[in-house]
Structure 1
């Protein structure tokens, strides 16, 4: 009888000791173990709670220790399992939400969790082309090829004809982020527009024709009033014959039968050995050094293209022109070359 009571007391002590260990593991506090077990409902009734609340001393000894350890192990496993299971069940909703929030990325591939697009990382840069400067905002993820398209829009220089420099030549496959571009970075652009290229490659003859086409057409000299009064007198009777379509050397005799500006007769004598041109009229003969004549201009007479009207420029301006009318066409080039010193006849 006494043995049964001793065994019952021993088992009760072991159970109480195991409960104490379980509560310490679950709560981490010796002073609140009883309240913790009451809160989570591990007691079946108030009587058990009151009975297990006492401070009965546990027996010592090798047998008592082994029994206590065995029973305590079972109780600890049961209590810990219930406590941990209950804590996991109660904390699951909150922890799940927090984990879901933590694992949900703010944006994947430029799209937010709500379905909207992310704003790309923009950087303000300066593009310099010739003397023009352009301030633009571009994405750090844009490539060199994309940047060239932007420059084409701003400058008109095609991407294939651009050389873009930023810490060296910009490569089309690299992004601005790879180039370590920061706000305020300057990109230098070298290149030509298609208009510039076509203008440079256009034949000079075409350009000259377009230039002449744009210039207002001048009235022929023979139609101007100051010359008409001489030409209207008609071709002189004693003029030297003209041969159209040929070029001849200066004759050994003076060119005669021509008119001057006042309508009087004039003759031209080329004194090549003296390097002089003698202009003779009825009144006098004027001897001019070839070097004093600045220029020689001529134009065919309308309706009489086998004869020219010619001007010898004796001073710095057109006001110094000495006009001679009805010069035979075959001698025009020879007169110009002789006076201007291109070739001489001896």
Structure 2
């Protein structure tokens, strides 16, 4: 009996020590300051190393008016792992004092402004579509004259294989595309995603157009009829349809990832 009592006593002490260590870890305070770069501004955010991503995003929301649900923080530690904002701490991501994080996402007012702009229908259904009469439905993008003319030229020689009903991670670049803008003829192009600097590069033989992702207000996308493995994708940088940069023959398996990376769509 004495041995049993001794063992129970040892177990009790061990449990008490474990509880104390957990409690100590929970109440530990390691104040740090992070620099949040958003558009042309940098905001210092005071937080704790044991704050969760949810805590950090709520603080950023108060400074920038970017809803936590659309916030994307670009940092090698954050973007390289799957995480749960509610449970993942800054310490878990090896975030250190003084680091700069890039914030991507539209403010609430920008989202409201974009939702009021009349743009072509995309792959996402509008809530009014179910009640719209057939005569009010817009013509598919691929049937509209300006797009049909480009598509009739056929796929570029170096077009990548398109796969319908599949969602692949965003590649570093997508080749074999055609690009057109208002009053500009279509040119062969390549999309390059520079996530480390928060930019989308559109490369042609003549030039490279560098677009900050925060300047892209909306993305229009629609599968090409008869070639559903490929999509037309439009990057809207202004408030009107004339500001859309059109990309043709984009492999459909990348469209969802493009939207998620640029607009923080889920």
What TM-score comes out, normalization by structure 1 length?
A: 0.37
Structure having greater relative contact order (Cα 8 Å, sep ≥ 6): 2
Identify the structure with the greater helix proportion. Answer: 1
Structure number, greater radius of gyration: 1
